Copies of this chain bind each other. A is one copy, B any other.
Amino acid sequence: MSEFDRGRQTSRRDFLKRGALAGLAVPAGISVLERRTDSTSTSGHPMDPATQAAPARAAATTADEMDAMHEKGVKAFPAKTAGKGNMPLQPRLVNGVKVFELTCSEIMWEVTPGQRMKAWAYNGQVPGPQIRVREGDRVRVIVKNRLPESTVVHFHGLEVPNNQDGVPFITQPPIKPGASFTYEFTVPNAGSHMYHSHHNAAKQVGMGLLGAFIVEPKDKSAEPQADVDYVMILNDMAHGYTLNGKGFPATEPISAKKGQTVRVRYMNEGMQIHPMHLHGMHMTVIAKDGWPVPQPWKCDTLNIAPGDRWDVLVKCHNPGVWAFHCHILPHAESEHGMFGMVTALIVS
């Protein structure tokens, strides 16, 4: 008997039968708890295991209804929604300077199918577009503010000159509504970094003013080989528990082939820790905040705190659809099914 066959089971028959039962009409106003049946018990003797289980079985219709909600969520994954964040932003090249434009504005953002929420976005995306440059590049970032509040942009993790650091009244005046501001610097250090608002930031970052700023090292000889390079930005504020601006089942699965290596760049832009747990394969931690760790270490659950970036490698040795979620369970599942910080790593 193969492992998969072992995986089949005595409940499969029940599963189908109950599925059919669940289709029976129930008059409105009658609690599902009253739809009890002992038809599945086999002897009725008080010491018979089946009878002992009867109270549990009796509530099975409710269990079926709960299961149906869970199944619906899983079957919908990955669900389509309007808008996709973290899309690569191509710079204009002006006299050797890579010029990026970020426009801040209020938009409606579809977090899960049909759940359209007010967001504050860079270029209409949550997270904002992904900026990816190289150590030593000259970069100009032109920020236009079309929000009703002032804002600024802080390049979190980049060791830029102080006047480019984006802290209002310390390094610059705030960028007023309708105004713009130009940042320019030579990219000083490599790694997985972020850009986000640093003004009224608990609100502005919470509403979506955040994005990935990835710097490839000048010397790539020490860079690990990765077939898939995936940025995963966590948030937990205005739009609930999200991965890259979407909640399950609208989150995006990560796909790889067996034998490939996936690099995940975790970034926490929320207000809470999120211990991300990958099923079926371990992660090898290679960098913290863009700095290579002295010796990589392995885990399957990685606690990511607000402001943290962690780079990990996953060697995809185990084929299948692997759940990948925050292990603070109320961030990932309710009795209505999985939601929020859940996605999958699919190894084919």
Contacts and interface: CB of A to CB of B under 8 A. Distances in A.
Interface of A: 3-4, 6-7, 9-12, 14-15, 18, 40, 50, 52-60, 62-64, 66-67, 70-71, 74-75, 105-106, 140, 144-150, 154, 156-157, 159-165, 167-185, 189, 198-203, 205-206, 271-273, 275, 277, 279-282, 288-291, 293-301, 303, 305-309, 317-323, 327-330, 332-335, 344
Contacts of A146: 52-53, 56
Nearest to A1: B184
Copies in the complex: 3
Given A146-B56, A150-B66, A323-B165, A172 B7 contact: yes
B162 A303 contact: no
B15 A273 contact: no
Contact of A185 (B3, B277, B300): B3
Nearest to A72: B169
B291 A156 contact: no
A2 to B, nearest CB: 9
Contacts of A55: 148
Given A66-B150, A275-B308, A322-B165, A6 B159 contact: no
Contacts of A70: 168-169, 174, 199-200
B174 A67 contact: yes
Given A6-B183, A7-B163, A288-B298, A173 B15 contact: yes
Contacts of A303: 273, 303, 305, 308
A53 B308 contact: no
B320 A161 contact: yes
A333 B129 CA distance: 25
